[in-house]
Amino acid sequence: MAIFKIDQCPVCSNSQFKPFITCTDFFVSEEQFEIGECTGCGFKFTANAEDEENIGRYYQSEEYISHSNTSKGLVNAVYHQVRSYMLGRKRRLVEKATGLKTGRLLDVGTGTGFFLNEMKTHGWKVSGTEKSADARDFAKNEFGLDIEETEQLFQFKNESFDAITLWHVLEHIHRLDENMETFGRLLKPEGKLIIAVPNHTSHDARHYKQYWAAWDVPRHLWHFGPEQMKLFGEKHGFQLQSLHTMPFDSFYVSLLSEKYKKSNLPMFKGLMHGKISWLKSILHKGQCSSVIYVFG
Ligand SMILES: [Zn+2]
């Protein structure tokens, strides 16, 4: 075991932190983790997560849905229904952001390959990286996709992609700055970086506090709000061009949070708070449970 120690805020380089909240890993270990806050910019991070070599054991759950394809349980069933809708929406977003109908795409942390397959089916030349060997095997068997190991990211040619996407992946990456720097190098001059992450400034995050499912400690190392994401992009030479909502995440995360909270009427309450989060995000995109950031 070795703690992944954070000495400097990745967003503003400040080194003064204060405790923000203590959360439980409801998903795998039931262990508790501290979330710290930068006193300079308000950026939040999991303060006592394991380092890159040792965090693997916190991913060992059959239920970890981004890496599996089971439809057990109601929450998972809803998730799988929604996924097929979201695949099309993500594709259209990439096409709109890049202004291209086909091009070269890199999906970082591609999981089981559903999104890459959607893009490939629509004529895109696709590359992907993924840490989990099981997920890479799944993508190969199911879609015939050759997904690369994580370290291959640093071997791609400069200026070779029209778009790089990270769907709920950036928050898992230990070497945050090194990765962002690499994305900048790998993108063509007009290329777009598209990052989706949970948003702790959302209604559901504020409502569920330590039970908010998208803290997902210790797997989520970094917790971005819209302001910090904008600044973090700028630090690496990107300009934030647009924000987009992920409405289903409001519902999914609220339902899962009710489950973690062991509340009465979890379905009713989860759908209610999901709906509030979604309605608020119609007026203010930066208040959605998860936000998609398009950088140019
Ligand atoms: Zn900071």
| CATH assignment at residue 151 | 3.40.50.150
Q: Convert 201-213 to b/e letters by CB count within 10 Å (16 or more is b).
A: bbbbbebbebbbb
Distance 182 CA to ligand 1 centre (A): 21
Q: Is residue 156 part of a domain?
A: yes
The whole-number pLDDT of residue 71 equals: 54
| CA atoms of 70 and 89, how far apart (whole Å) | 22
Q: Is residue 295 part of a domain?
A: no
Distance 41 CA to ligand 1 centre (A): 4
Backbone angles phi, psi at 71, to 5 degrees: -120, 35
Which residues span the domain enclosing 141? 67-168+182-195
Q: Which two tokens stand for residue 136?
A: 């890479």
Same domain, 10 and 38: yes
Same domain, 129 and 49: no
Distance 20 CA to ligand 1 centre (A): 13
Same domain, 190 and 98: yes
Segments in the chain below pLDDT 50: 65, 67
The whole-number pLDDT of residue 67 equals: 44
The whole-number pLDDT of residue 63 equals: 52
Distance 38 CA to ligand 1 centre (A): 5
- Residue 157 burial class via C-beta count within 10 angstroms: exposed 0-12, middle 13-18, buried 19 and up: exposed
Q: Is residue 177 part of a domain?
A: no
Same domain, 116 and 46: no
Distance 12 CA to ligand 1 centre (A): 4
Task: Provide DSSP, 192-245.
Answer: EEEEEEE-TTSHHHHHHGGG-GGG-TTT--EE--HHHHHHHHHHTT--EEEEEE
Q: Is residue 121 part of a domain?
A: yes
The whole-number pLDDT of residue 59 equals: 87
Distance 66 CA to ligand 1 centre (A): 29
Same domain, 88 and 53: no
Q: Is residue 173 part of a domain?
A: no
Distance 292 CA to ligand 1 centre (A): 21
The whole-number pLDDT of residue 183 equals: 98
Q: Is residue 72 part of a domain?
A: yes
Distance 210 CA to ligand 1 centre (A): 21
Distance 238 CA to ligand 1 centre (A): 18
Same domain, 75 and 190: yes
Distance 271 CA to ligand 1 centre (A): 34
The whole-number pLDDT of residue 153 equals: 97
Same domain, 203 and 190: no
Structurally, how many domains does the chain consist of?
2
Q: Name the 3-class secondary structure at 36.
A: strand
